[in-house]
Amino acid sequence: MTIAIDWPLDANRIRRGMLNHTFGMVRRNSDGSRRPHQGWDFEAKPGTPCYAVADGQVVAVRNAGAYGLQVVIRFLFDFDDDGDADPLFAFYAHLSRADVKTGDHVERGQKIGETGNSGNARGMRGADQHLHFELRTVPIAGRGLGNRYSPMAIFRHCPLDAPAERLAA
């Protein structure tokens, strides 16, 4: 069973083209110790349209804490390629606007909101403005990398240099 995935923005490039804006223990504290980043940051000036990466259902829209305005979409993807689709959750953060509400069914490529600087992205400027995108196994994940996969699992390609363009764009 092949399930089509598309990118969340029209043009998708990792923030500043830097690995520390990808998934994993990629960031450093001031003392040099490593700390996690839970998703991928895609460069996006506020007001950039965001799209559903797959057909699915909106399971949460909320505005809270470091993530600011968030949309969570449950979708199916054959993650382990065993022929059975597994439920996954696409998580969009720091939005300025949500165009969907909890319970809505969405189609891949449907606009679900717009990027912004909400939560701890407040005050970001220029190329640091971004969509924070996570791939989760549960809708509300805790801190750290738990309950998450690298978005590489669905996108297959990490656009550090040239932006990846949305297939439907």
Residue of this chain nearest to Zn ion (CB atom):
132
Q: What is the footprint of Zn ion within residues 75-114 (CB under 5 A)?
A: none
State the Cα–Cα distance between residues 66 and 99, nearest whole angstrom: 21
Give the range of 4-12, 26-34, 41-49, 111-119 binding Zn ion by CB under 5 A.
41-49
Q: State in angstroms the smallest separation of the CB of 83 from Zn ion.
A: 33
**Choices 3-11, 38-46, 62-70, 160-168; region in contact with Zn ion by CB under 5 A:** 38-46
Q: Is residue 111 classed as helix, strand or coil in its secondary structure?
A: strand
Give every CB contact of residue 84 below 8 A, 6+ residues apart in sequence. 1, 78
Residue placing its CB nearer to Zn ion in the complex, 93 or 100: 93
The residue type of 90 is A
Closest CB 67 distance from Zn ion, rounded Å: 9
Contact 71, 62 (CB under 8 A): no
Q: How far is the CB of 66 from Zn ion (least distance, A)?
A: 9
Query: Would you count residue 43 as binding Zn ion (CB under 5 A)?
Result: no
Q: Using the rule CB under 5 A, is 41 a contact of Zn ion?
A: yes
| One-letter amino acid for residue 67 of the chain | Y
From residue 70, give the alpha-carbon distance in Å to each of 64, 80, 112, 152: 8, 27, 11, 21
- Asked whether position 132 contacts Zn ion by CB under 5 A, the answer is yes
Q: Does 134 bind Zn ion (CB under 5 A)?
A: no
Cβ atoms 72, 139 nearer than 8 A: yes
For Zn ion, the binding residues (CB under 5 A) are: 41, 132
